Amino acid sequence: MERVSDGSFHATYKIGDIKVTSLRDGYVDMPVRRLRQPGDKPFGDDLPSQVPLFDGALRLSVNAFAVDDGHEITLIDSGSSNAWHPTMGFLPQALSEARIAVDRIRTVAFTHTHLDHIHGLILPDGRDGFPRLSSLLVPRAELGMFRSEARLRRFHDRAQPLDPGQRLSAHIEAVAAPGHEIGHTCFRVTSGGETLLVWGDLVHAPSLQFERPEVAWEFDADQDQARATRLRILALAADNAYCVAGAHLDSPGVGRVSRAQTGFRFEPL
Ligand SMILES: [Zn+2]
């Protein structure tokens, strides 16, 4: 897998015969207390110095990923549009920089239904983000959560359930990864013998959670399940030489995982 183009808001990689583009929606700063040690214990003075802080906060990239098989484009997550913080919502700029025409995006699939992943369906001016959308896939366990987002009302009936093992296309398969949210899903993208796992919110603080996968996130729906899933998916990626792409890994958020003396190691691509 190699990077074939990049810019301030995107990086495109070739995987076998297809292309995957990391799209930078922006970033969000979060308090350090979101990081939780086992027992739901926050860090204090014991926060390892390897964790970079910006005015005392953790800085999370927010990335979405477009899979282009040459015919059509599947978008995995959609950024937050103007639903949260003005440091996010740059997905349209990222698509334009990557020369991805929005009307080629026919399928949008969500790793989970938190607002930094779903609100890109609607542009700040109220128009549809993806005017030719024909398939909107939401993890089955989170359909109710999705349909409780009043702002996305016009998409409620269009959402179709997404199940683990489901194939979105010849190249994309859904993989269960519950914990951060009840229906949290990864997507295995395969072509020409190469595999990229688009893993959503498996890791929020890459400076710490590869080395210490037991560190959880305050907003994990089930921290213990999220820990177990993180360990399982990190091992899956490391042992099968998968590349990975993370919604909150430092932009562009694509790289390789290997086992380390303590936990795992991430090498950006
Ligand atoms: Zn997220």
Q: How far is CA 129 from the centre of its chain?
A: 18
Mean pLDDT throughout 148-164? 97
Distance 101 CA to ligand 1 centre (A): 24
The mean pLDDT value for 60-71 works out to 96
pLDDT of 159 reads: 98
Distance 74 CA to ligand 1 centre (A): 19
Please tell me the predicted confidence (pLDDT) of residue 138: 98
pLDDT value at residue 247: 98
Q: What is the pLDDT of residue 192?
A: 96
* 171: confidence class by pLDDT, cuts 50, 70, 90: very high
Task: Kindly give the distance from the C-alpha atom of residue 263 to the centroid of ligand 1, in angstroms, as a whole number.
Answer: 22
In the reported structure, the alpha carbon of residue 230 is separated from the centroid of ligand 1 by a whole-number distance in angstroms of: 15
CA–CA dist 92, 78 (Å, integer): 10
CA–centroid distance, 118 to ligand 1, in Å, is: 10
All residues with CB under 5 Å from ion ligand 1: 116, 201
Determine what percent of the chain falls in helix, strand and coil, rounding each to the nearest 5. Answer: 20, 35, 45
Using the mean position of ligand 1's atoms as its centre, give its distance from the Cα of residue 77 in Å.
9
Side chain identity at 61, as an amino acid letter?
S
2-268 under CATH 3.40.50.1360, yes or no: no
Farthest CA pair distance, the chain: 52
Measured CA to CA, the distance from residue 188 to residue 154 in angstroms comes to: 29
Mean pLDDT, to the nearest integer, of 177-187?
98
Average pLDDT for 235-239: 98
Mean pLDDT of the chain: 97
| Separation of CA 201 and ligand 1 centre (Å) | 5
Q: Each residue of 244-262: pLDDT tens digit?
A: 999 999 999 999 999 999 9
Q: Ligand 1 centre and the CA of 260: distance in Å?
A: 26
Segment 229-237 mean pLDDT: 98
Rounded to the nearest whole angstrom, what is the distance from the C-alpha of residue 181 to the centroid of ligand 1?
A: 10
Centre of ligand 1 to C-alpha 145, Å, is 15
